[in-house]
Amino acid sequence: MKYTKVSLKTTTEAVDFISNLFDEIGLEGIQIEDNIPLSEEDKKAMFIDILPDLPEDDGTAIVSSYFDPAAFEIPQLRMKIEEGLKELSLFVNVGEGTLQFSDTDDKDWLNNWKEFFKPFHVAEDIIIKPTWEELPEHKENDIIIEIDPGIAFGTGAHETTKLCILGLRNYITPDTKLLDVGCGSGILSIIGLKLGASHAVGTDIDAHALDATRENIMVNHISEKNFDLIAGDIISDQAIQQKVGMKKYNVVVANILADIIIPLSGEIMQHMTENGIFISSGILNTKADEVQDALLKNGFHIVEKNEMGDWVSFVATPEAAK
């Protein structure tokens, strides 16, 4: 099926008005392109360390939407948009007001990536298998982890996740109670339990991540009594901190970002046992020193610093346990 894309070049000050105009006409799913610099709040919400280099903000923006050609006649749609622009121009600068229409293929953008996600070894005896793929030949004692990350982060293929998995491989025991902060698809918690941990708790602020984790728990035949999920921000929300519990976890793993691990290092120790292990990853090598300084400042002793590609992982324990 073909869709038609309508794009309108306007000004950033008119974006909200244009979006509302599109909505009133019946165009849904608005896309906005501009060069407005991201605020610190925006950057934190995006959960990425490397931000795109944007050209200088010139005050222009492009508002776009996609529609079924059978639902609109382009000449009539053009006329409605131009009439709306004329009214809006009486009280806001709409800029060029240039309209463009183009055809685009209907593609399953959310699922096309799956053809590139194949089973692979993340350690000698740990295999990550997409739920939709057949498992190739493997050893009888291999640990098989089935994953459908959905739109949550965490297939196990990225260096940051591999660093965490290798850390878990070294520190999980049958007595381990595991806390997975920012659990994403749940892959680290599931691996921890498959490695023998007695119980795991996963936290995440993203509802989509928790949905993906629940599905992956079921696919991997993990008993609900061995795995709890908590929605919220453990760094700033006292109610979440109380739910997670104090001095309970032998191993804490956080595969997030340096800018989140830094404040997390000041909070997480109260949830760890005296000899607990804190595995942190998702740290670009350019920010490793900042994370290390934060860990030391907050009473941790660095046990290991591991690197893979451009990424760094720290394994730390409370200084008193040294």
Structural domain includes residue 71: yes
**pLDDT tens digit sequence for 91-149:** 899 999 999 998 876 555 445 556 656 777 777 778 888 777 777 777 778 888 887 75
Name the average pLDDT for the chain: 85
What digits encode the pLDDT tens for the residues 16-50? 899 989 988 888 778 888 877 766 655 554 444 44
Q: Is residue 122 part of a domain?
A: no
* Total-model pTM: 0.67
107 or 255, higher pLDDT: 255
Written as six digits, the tokens of 130 are: 């997409």
Tell me which residue range forms the domain holding 85. Answer: 2-105
Q: Which of 77, 105, 133 is the last residue of a domain?
A: 105
Distance CA 183, CA 153 (A): 9
52: domain CATH number is 3.30.70.260
Do 312 and 163 reside in the same domain of the chain?
A: yes
Hey, what are 299's tokens? 């009473």
Task: Please state the φ and ψ torsions of residue 151, each to the nearest 5 degrees.
Answer: -105, 15
Q: Per-residue pLDDT averaged across 287-303, rounded?
A: 96
> Of 298, 313, 296, 291, which Cα lies nearest the Cα of 188?
313
The CATH number of the domain holding residue 207 is: 3.40.50.150
User: Is 64 inside any structural domain?
Assistant: yes
**Is residue 261 one of the residues assigned to a domain?**
yes
Task: Let me know whether 98 and 222 are in one domain.
Answer: no
Joined tokens for residue 157: 């293929």
Helix (H), strand (E) at residue 44: helix 40-46
Gap between the Cα atoms of 157 and 162, Å rounded:
7
Shared domain check, 173 and 317 = yes
Q: 3-class DSSP state for residue 100? A: strand
Report yes or no on 112 lying in a domain.
no
Question: What average pLDDT score do residues 291-308 get?
Answer: 96
Quick one: CA dihedral 210, 216, 219, 220, positive or negative?
A: negative
Kindly tell me the sign of the dihedral angle through the C-alpha atoms of 271, 273, 274, 276: negative
| End-of-domain residue from the set 87, 105, 123 | 105
